[in-house]
Amino acid sequence: MHSLNSKGPILAFFCNWAPYRCYMDLCKSGHSFPYPIYPVKVMCTGRIDPAMVLFAFERGAEGVLIMGCKDKECRYGPGPGQAKKMAGSVHGLIHILGLEPERFSTLQYSFDEQNRLFEEMESFAKKIYKLKKSPLGV
């Protein structure tokens, strides 16, 4: 599957709107990611439950990124606020599982921030692969 010391992938949840558009624009322009990043498109990051994030870690993800729209740009209104609440819950549980807090991150984007998205995904991946293998991996 990949050859980074047999580490698992990074799971990236993308809001269907601005962040996913940035990601698709990057893919269409020929950008490639040097790390195994598995994209998951959701209608709104406000719909992500902490259990989904924890399940990703349980199934072998080395890191989980949540990429949503900026507060004033959400098509569903409270989505970014809901995502922040969810992130707080995950951060409260992640240490109990023996995972480093760096393995989870939430970010917000506008539709024209492809370069920022690429840089932050790459930075996140580099941090993840400097850590030891996740103790939860399958």
C-alpha 136/C-alpha 63 separation (Å) is 11
**Overall number of domains in the chain:** 1
Q: How far apart are the first and last CA of the chain?
A: 14
| Residue 55 maps to a domain | yes
The reply to whether 66 falls in a domain is yes
- Classify each residue of 81-102 as buried b or exposed e, where b means 16 or more C-beta atoms within 10 Å of its C-beta: ebbbebbeebeebbeeeebeee
Q: Kindly state whether residue 136 falls inside one of the protein's structural domains.
A: no
**Domain membership flag for residue 85:** yes
- pLDDT given at position 76: 87
Query: Long-range contacts of range 91-94, CB-CB < 8 Å, 24 or more positions apart?
Result: 93/50, 93/54
**Does the reported pTM lie above 0.75?**
yes
For residue 23, is it within any domain?
yes
**Is residue 2 one of the residues assigned to a domain?**
no
Planar angle of CA 126, 113, 3, nearest 5 degrees = 25
**Residue 39 · residue 31 · CB < 8 Å:** no
pLDDT the model gives residue 8: 86
Domain with 48, as residue range(s), is 19-130
Tokens describing residue 15? 């809001």
Task: Encode the chain (138 residues) as per-residue pLDDT tens digits.
Answer: 344 445 789 999 999 999 999 999 999 999 888 889 999 999 999 999 999 999 999 999 999 999 999 999 998 889 999 999 999 999 999 988 899 999 999 999 999 999 999 999 999 999 999 999 998 866
**Whole-number Å distance between alpha carbons of 61 and 53:** 9
